[in-house]
A and B are shown apart, each in its own frame.
Chain A
């Protein structure tokens, strides 16, 4: 079951695993940032396990999350309405309590 629904406000966990040996599909530049669930892509094998040949763990729900460019890059020079959308696995997301309470 997907923990989040389309439109939910979420935050990417600000976790910076030591390297190596890790395999992470959440780009560094997006960690810690707040966005909105754009769509649910389905359940997929966890690449952080698959990378080490561990193929039988639980699947993770994959989301596409939408972020405002101006929130990510303080010096962003494009339009205020420019966005970036990224695929992020559920275990990298947490509810954005601050925003949801407001």
Chain B
């Protein structure tokens, strides 16, 4: 969405553009030929939809239908949702078979038990088993169980992931470091409409006797999308990097 809207570029806050107190320097080694290590700001283009969002939001506030504080609060709530919520759900399911059964049969109620409201989301929980490995994609856009996991990673929204994981899922999984045995079904779920999907990964071997908290630490976002198994690429590894 660039083009005509580019002309809006300089209407906006560029106060930081020439400052060097930011993280730019970490992106490129310092190069004396180019005194200005640079990565484009994400907010440097007012696209059609950004303009529309601002206009509608400002109108709603001006008419007294919502307040700026409510908008800010919703953004804060969205940002507070993280994969850690999902990891807790998975760890509970691993340690409590009755909870797991409820989670699969009626996810909204089961998740409410541990204090999360999944809002209007229609959730389907996909259980990985020794016979089936599940992986989730939205080929049409970027549908994702945001009410539990927060915002999706950028790669989930990329055309490469969206177009390839339906067509060559095993190759894509291999690129994530995940090798699925030939006699285990790979089941791709294309989230095209009103349902949202959440993968319940298999509990890793050798985790008997671990606490729910310790188990939750083995479950990363990518395991709940289904591109890795739990314990691989989990939050433990992310934390170590």
Q: Interface size for chain A: under 10, 10 to 19, 20 to 34, or 35 or more residues? A: 20 to 34
- B-contacting 9-mer, from A3-11, A14-22, A80-88, A93-101: A80-88
Closest to B163 in A: A29
A-B contact count (CB 8 A): 75
A85 contacts B185, CB within 8 Å? Answer: no
Cβ of B57: which chain A residues have Cβ within 8 Å of it?
none
Closest to A66 in B: B187
A83 contacts B185, CB within 8 Å? Answer: yes
B31 close to A (CB within 8 Å)? no
Number of interface residues of B (CB under 8 A): 24
- A-contacting 9-mer, from B86-94, B188-196, B201-209: B188-196
B169 close to A (CB within 8 Å)? yes
Residues of A whose CB lies within 8 Å of any CB of B are 25-27, 29-30, 41-42, 44, 47, 62, 64, 69, 73, 76-79, 81-89
Residues of B whose CB lies within 8 Å of any CB of A are 122, 124, 139-140, 166-171, 182-195
Show 24 residue pairs from A and B whose CB-CB distance is below 8 angstroms, ordered by the A residue. Answer: A25-B193, A27-B139, A27-B140, A27-B192, A29-B139, A41-B122, A41-B193, A42-B194, A47-B193, A64-B124, A64-B195, A76-B167, A77-B168, A78-B168, A78-B186, A79-B170, A79-B182, A79-B186, A84-B189, A84-B190, A85-B187, A86-B190, A87-B190, A87-B194
